[in-house]
């Protein structure tokens, strides 16, 4: 460990002291037909994160860039985006003349962002980072963020109902992923069974883009073990003149008989800006490919807004508020349904940029995420005897301060973050078939608290043909809860944890370093090595006998759990060519130390509370587990009307040592046996997606076909009696039609051939032996209005 830290420090020191040439990239943006300069074109160099806007003469200049190979991206809302690969030599002031094509001057925002979509397939960092943009959201019928993320390569989701799909990135899930909003706000869901993961508390229509960082590398945004999802909501804009915009959406999805609506107003001037928006979704049950109805209906709506002010040149302060509501959200694969969810998100942000040679920017964010979550089993057969109502409050409040410091051609990001998570709630059981209707109250959480304070730094530099990124963070984590005691009428006290024995704290170190070597203008190779540590979450520490796992066991928290560490290496090859397209191949290997999973407790130690489960498991550190896999991405050249892309991904996970419970013919657990190199449960199988798009009528109409092939998953966990799943192929068609700047339409057909299939990660329907099938054929249409 010490050697690694030393190496890391040396790497940063060596890089910052590296003597390298500095140059400038400047040029002029010109309309190819009129030969007039184009103002307000955006010119960016993704590799160094620098951008500028062309002036009235079409002129732009980006200074102080280290010599090396760069892709310069030029964008303008009315023109087709352009990329240019350049080599900047030592001390050079590279002069570019960029001609924007006139032929599709009426290019719509969909098309502009489609080019972003294509560019985003290739990671600009030494590890895998992809971005999903708004045009992908608009041409998707997904009802939620988790559902939408499943359309990205090597991102899967655990479906338990019609909504609230929980994202899984390369097999990493739950608290192994760091999910944040707008660069730092965190949300703690209320449900122990994760019917309301963080992504479920935001409406997909409010999302501008999603940055996905795979692996334990993005340490700027919080403790990171397996990946980071940064959900960026619709942006706050400064306008030259007072402006008001109105956006509306009306959508319909067949099969579900679902409607979605959105109305937003935004505007402002040079000094202040504001926005108000609301979304409403009402989806019914859906039918699978065989016509079986799945109880997956839900109603969700939210409203909120933001207001901000440019208090001084380059200094902005803004306040954001959002309330979201979930009502009668069905989860057929869980013991309960969400009856009511009231979530309130607030944040106050400051951003200042400086014309200072040293200081680049400062950001400050303070936030409060408050979730009130109610669920019950009233639509389950067991409610004929026992009605269970749960009411949980979960709160996450915190802050984040970050500064960017210019170091020659490098930038150093440094900052602190803090989060305070509290959770409290109980379950009320009404024995409705007993005289007098006796009521029993059980604590699900008893004023549980987790506090995390982190300090982080990330160093990004470019010199010659090398890009280097190195990062480190230290987290001080503390968790506690009020005393936990469980009584049952028949057995008396069956579980007790006092406050003294329940409080634990950790200091965690995470660090990584990576580099990209540009072999020439077309080829690059990247290597990243990192170690990310996360502390156990609320469920793993404090859950009190609830069936929260994949298997049929009551789970018991373990306050004495140690943090879990992911030591990962990523190797990536990148190829970019204007004639042949883009290609990226990545392989990764993860060694997971102190892997957290469940271990069966004998009935003499602990008996379950939930009827029908096989026994009790307690979270423990199981030693080492391993993940490995690859990703492949190809996208055809941008210059053709026909666009082809292909994404494939596989993850393979094993645990060195685990134990399997033995079940006799009567279905009782009689003992355990050790297993070596068992498969990790809930790892997505190999999948590949091919996409074809064609641009018609000056790119105003773009139809697309997508074929997704998923292999059978036969590498399954024996210790958790995981079931194998068959492979399947699905196809979908979708289009977007840009009628005018005021009106556009997207629509399509999902599951064209009405196949009956389920994803490997879908949970089983409660009380049934079959899986939760995906929707059958479904037509959908969205109408977008803009004024």
Chain residues binding another protein by CB under 8 A are: 246, 248, 250, 259, 261, 263, 278, 280, 282, 328, 339, 376, 378-379, 383-384, 387, 430, 432-437, 785, 787
State the nearest-atom distance from the C-beta of 59 to another protein, in Å: 36
- Give whichever of 278 and 404 is closer to another protein, judged by the CB atom: 278
- Give whichever of 92 and 430 is closer to another protein, judged by the CB atom: 430
- Give whichever of 382 and 414 is closer to another protein, judged by the CB atom: 382
- Give whichever of 376 and 678 is closer to another protein, judged by the CB atom: 376
Neighbours of 202 (CB within 10 A): 24
Answer for the pair 213, 563: CB distance below 8 angstroms, yes or no.
Answer: no
State the nearest-atom distance from the C-beta of 262 to another protein, in Å: 9
Answer for the pair 179, 188: CB distance below 8 angstroms, yes or no.
Answer: no
Rounded Cα gap, residues 687 and 689, in angstroms: 7
Degrees, nearest 5: CA angle 778-781-787? 160
State the nearest-atom distance from the C-beta of 206 to another protein, in Å: 16
Owner of token pair 């030494």 = 126
- Give whichever of 66 and 336 is closer to another protein, judged by the CB atom: 336
Answer for the pair 519, 465: CB distance below 8 angstroms, yes or no.
Answer: yes
State the nearest-atom distance from the C-beta of 762 to another protein, in Å: 23
Rounded Cα gap, residues 255 and 286, in angstroms: 5
- Give whichever of 276 and 527 is closer to another protein, judged by the CB atom: 276
State the nearest-atom distance from the C-beta of 378 to another protein, in Å: 4
State the nearest-atom distance from the C-beta of 434 to another protein, in Å: 7
Instruction: Please give the DSSP secondary-structure letter assigned to residue 583.
Output: E
Rounded Cα gap, residues 726 and 601, in angstroms: 33
Helix H or strand E segment including 541: helix 538-542
* Partner residues linked to 276 by β-bridges: 265, 305
Q: In what order do the strands lie in the sheet with 172-173?
A: 155-158, 166-169, 172-173
Degrees, nearest 5: CA angle 667-673-678? 105
- Of 682, 681, 512, 644, nearest to 588 (Cα)? 512
- Give whichever of 375 and 648 is closer to another protein, judged by the CB atom: 375
Rounded Cα gap, residues 611 and 438, in angstroms: 18
Show the tokens assigned to 640.
């053709």
- Give whichever of 138 and 339 is closer to another protein, judged by the CB atom: 339
3-state SS class at 688:
strand
- HEC string of 435-501 equals CCCCEEEEEEEEEEEEEEEEEEEEEEEEECCEEEEEEEEEEEEEEECCCEEEEECCCEEEEEECHHH
State the nearest-atom distance from the C-beta of 547 to another protein, in Å: 21
State the nearest-atom distance from the C-beta of 780 to another protein, in Å: 17
- Give whichever of 589 and 739 is closer to another protein, judged by the CB atom: 739
State the nearest-atom distance from the C-beta of 301 to another protein, in Å: 9
Quote the distance between the C-alpha of residue 520 and its chain's center. 33
- Give whichever of 374 and 751 is closer to another protein, judged by the CB atom: 374
State the nearest-atom distance from the C-beta of 303 to another protein, in Å: 11
For the chain, report the end-to-end CA distance as a whole number of angstroms: 57
- Give whichever of 267 and 623 is closer to another protein, judged by the CB atom: 267
State the nearest-atom distance from the C-beta of 742 to another protein, in Å: 9
């Amino acid at each position: 460990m010490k050697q690694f830290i030393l190496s890391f420090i040396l790497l940063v020191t060596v890089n910052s002291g590296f003597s390298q040439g500095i140059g400038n990239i400047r040029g002029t943006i010109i309309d190819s037909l009129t030969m007039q300069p184009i103002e307000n074109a955006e010119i960016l160099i993704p590799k160094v994160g620098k951008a500028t806007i062309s002036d009235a003469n079409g002129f732009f200049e980006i200074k102080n860039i280290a010599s090396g190979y760069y892709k310069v991206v030029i964008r303008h809302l009315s023109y087709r985006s352009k990329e240019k690969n350049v080599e900047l030599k030592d001390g050079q002031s590279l002069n570019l003349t960029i001609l924007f094509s006139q032929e599709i001057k009426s290019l719509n925002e969909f098309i502009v962002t489609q080019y972003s979509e294509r560019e985003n397939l290739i990671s600009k960092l030494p590890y895998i980072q992809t971005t999903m943009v708004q045009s992908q959201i608009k041409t998707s019928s997904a009802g939620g963020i988790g559902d939408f993320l499943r359309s990205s390569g090597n991102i899967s989701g655990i479906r338990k109902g019609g909504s609230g799909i929980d994202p899984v990135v390369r097999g990493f899930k739950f608290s192994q992923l760091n999910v944040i909003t707008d660069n730092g706000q965190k949300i703690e869901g209320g449900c122990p069974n994760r019917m309301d993961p963080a992504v479920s508390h935001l409406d997909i229509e409010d999302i501008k883009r999603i940055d996905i960082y795979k692996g334990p590398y993005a340490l700027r945004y919080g403790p990171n073990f397996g990946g980071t999802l940064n959900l960026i909501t619709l942006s706050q804009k400064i306008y030259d003149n007072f402006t008001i915009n109105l956006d509306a959406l009306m959508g319909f999805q067949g099969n579900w008989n679902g409607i979605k609506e959105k109305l937003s107003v935004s505007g402002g001037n040079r000094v202040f800006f504001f926005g108000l928006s609301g979304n409403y979704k009402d989806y019914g049950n859906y039918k699978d490919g065989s016509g079986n109805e799945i109880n997956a209906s839900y109603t969700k709506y939210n409203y909120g807004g933001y207001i901000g002010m440019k208090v001084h040149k380059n200094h902005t302060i803004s306040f954001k508020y959002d309330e979201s509501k979930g009502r009668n959200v069905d989860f057929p694969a869980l013991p309960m349904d969400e009856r009511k969810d009231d979530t309130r998100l607030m944040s106050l942000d400051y951003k200042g940029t400086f014309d200072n040679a040293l200081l680049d920017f400062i950001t400050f964010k303070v936030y409060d995420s408050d979730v009130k979550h109610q669920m019950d089993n009233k639509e389950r057969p067991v409610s004929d005897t026992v009605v269970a109502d749960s009411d949980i409050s979960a709160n996450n409040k915190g802050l984040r301060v970050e500064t960017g410091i210019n170091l020659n051609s490098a930038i150093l990001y440094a900052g602190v973050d803090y989060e305070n998570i509290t959770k409290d709630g109980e379950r009320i059981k009404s024995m409705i078939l007993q005289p007098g209707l006796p009521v029993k109250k059980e604590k699900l959480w008893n004023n549980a608290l987790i506090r995390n304070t982190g300090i982080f730094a990330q160093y990004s530099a470019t010199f010659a043909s090398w890009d280097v990124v190195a990062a480190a963070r230290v987290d001080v984590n503390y968790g506690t809860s009020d005393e936990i005691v469980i009584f049952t009428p028949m057995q008396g006290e069956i579980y007790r944890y006092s406050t003294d024995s329940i409080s634990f704290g950790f200091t965690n170190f995470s660090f990584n370093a990576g580099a990209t070597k540009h072999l020439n203008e077309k080829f690059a190779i990247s290597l990243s090595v990192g170690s990310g540590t996360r502390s156990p979450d609320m469920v793993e520490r404090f859950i009190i006998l609830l069936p929260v796992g994949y298997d049929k066991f009551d789970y018991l928290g373990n306050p004495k759990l140690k943090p879990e560490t992911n030591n990962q290496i990523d190797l990536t090859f990148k190829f970019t060519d204007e004639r042949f397209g883009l290609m990226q191949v990545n392989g990764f290997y993860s060694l997971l130390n102190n892997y957290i999973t469940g271990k069966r407790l004998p009935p003499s130690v602990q008996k379950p509370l939930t009827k029908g489960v096989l026994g009790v498991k307690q979270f423990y550190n199981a030693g080492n587990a391993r993940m490995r896999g690859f990703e492949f991405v190809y996208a055809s050249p941008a210059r053709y009307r026909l666009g082809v892309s292909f994404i494939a991904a596989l993850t393979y996970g094993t645990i060195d040592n685990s134990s399997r419970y033995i079940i006799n013919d009567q279905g009782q657990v009689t003992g355990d046996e050790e297993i070596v190199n068992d498969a990790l449960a809930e790892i997505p199988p190999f999948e590949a997606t091919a996409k074809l798009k064609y641009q018609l009528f000056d790119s105003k109409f773009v139809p697309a076909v997508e074929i997704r092939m998923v292999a059978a998953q036969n590498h399954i966990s024996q210790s958790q009696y995981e079931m194998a799943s068959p492979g399947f192929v699905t196809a979908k068609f979708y289009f977007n039609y840009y009628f005018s700047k005021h009106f556009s339409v997207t629509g399509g057909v999902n599951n064209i051939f009405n196949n009956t299939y389920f994803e490997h990660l879908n949970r089983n329907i409660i009380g049934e032996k079959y899986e939760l099938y995906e929707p059958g054929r479904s037509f959908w249409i969205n109408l977008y209005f803009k004024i």
